[in-house]
Amino acid sequence: MYSFDIEQPKTIADAVAALAGDEEAMALGGGQTLIPTLKARLAAPSRLISLTAIPEMHGICMDDDGRVCIGASTTHAEVAEGVRASYPALSALAGHIGDPAVRNRGTLGGSIANNDPSACYPAAALGSGATIITNARAIAADDFFTGLFETCLEEGEIITELRFSVPEAASYQKFAQPASRFALVGVFLARFSDGVRVAVTGASEGGVYRWSDAEAALNEDFSAAALEGIAASPQGMIGDIHASPEYRAHLVGVMTRRAVAAAS
């Protein structure tokens, strides 16, 4: 790992200023992605700006619109415990990320900002129609995720909070890769009064996406039977030593049907 300096600002404004003052500086959340990247010498920042010492980026609350609001530096373990009553599907998702060490270090904001194609939280954000709050603006999840490891975040922009609308029913179903515990395929399904959202992670070369064919079918009939005859295309699916594109496409259907059954 290359040498670098590390700073722990106490306010969002100080963190933004620190990033703006050094074009080689990088923001550090829980470090569950960035630190292995540094160890592999795939990045060489001059400074790391830690976001974990900023009080306003921690915690969970409900806003006046009934949304679950979670600070970006809140850990997976804290999310799992803190939304157990208010958003059980999100709690279950957070409680099965990695292992206890990962859950007690990794942060919600870090996962969303990294947008790993097999991460769980992007599916939760997209499936819930969440709003991502940064130091500069509010971004709808549908506009936030732009591709493999890519988001619409600008240089020096940091996520400060996520706001999740709570659906009438929801479920996250993950077929986990046993070594990494990332999603080989994961499906987050949420049923709202105005429609169903189905977000898929782990499957596509383009990263997390909404399965519109399944959404249309489930809006007509919210049952696993409604998905009969509907199949995800293997085109554009990830193919690696763990699963072929065809197998991942098959799993998308299986996990979606399981999510419908669990949410029902």
Q: Tell me the per-residue pLDDT of 50-76, one tens digit each, with 9 for 90 and over.
A: 999 999 999 999 999 999 999 999 999
Percent residues over pLDDT 70 in the chain = 99
Query: What is the C-alpha separation between 240 and 122, in angstroms, rounded?
Result: 21
pLDDT at 1 over 70: no
Q: Which domains does the chain have, with CATH numbers?
A: 1-49 (3.30.43.10), 169-263 (3.30.390.50)
In the prediction, which pLDDT does 34 show?
77
38: confidence class by pLDDT, cuts 50, 70, 90: confident
Q: Nearest to residue 114, comparing CAs of 79, 142, 72, 77?
A: 72
Between these two residues, 74 and 41, which has the higher pLDDT value?
Answer: 74
43: confidence class by pLDDT, cuts 50, 70, 90: confident
Query: What is the C-alpha separation between 210 and 36, in angstroms, rounded?
Result: 29
Query: What is the C-alpha separation between 254 and 73, in angstroms, rounded?
Result: 33
Q: Tell me the per-residue pLDDT of 118-135, one tens digit each, with 9 for 90 and over.
A: 999 999 999 999 999 999
Residue with tokens 């939280």: 121
- Candidate from 6-15, 18-27, 38-47, 101-110 with smallest mean pLDDT: 38-47
Q: Nearest to residue 83, comparing CAs of 112, 113, 61, 57?
A: 61
Q: What is the mean pLDDT of the chain?
A: 94
Contact 9, 18 (CB under 8 A): yes
Q: Give the distance between the most distant pair of CA atoms in the chain.
A: 57
Q: Tell me the per-residue pLDDT of 186-236, one tens digit each, with 9 for 90 and over.
A: 999 999 999 999 999 999 999 999 999 999 999 999 999 999 999 999 999
Between these two residues, 117 and 45, which has the higher pLDDT value?
Answer: 117
> Amino acid identity, residue 219?
N
Average of per-residue pLDDT across 98-121: 94
Average of per-residue pLDDT across 82-91: 98
8-state DSSP, 75? B
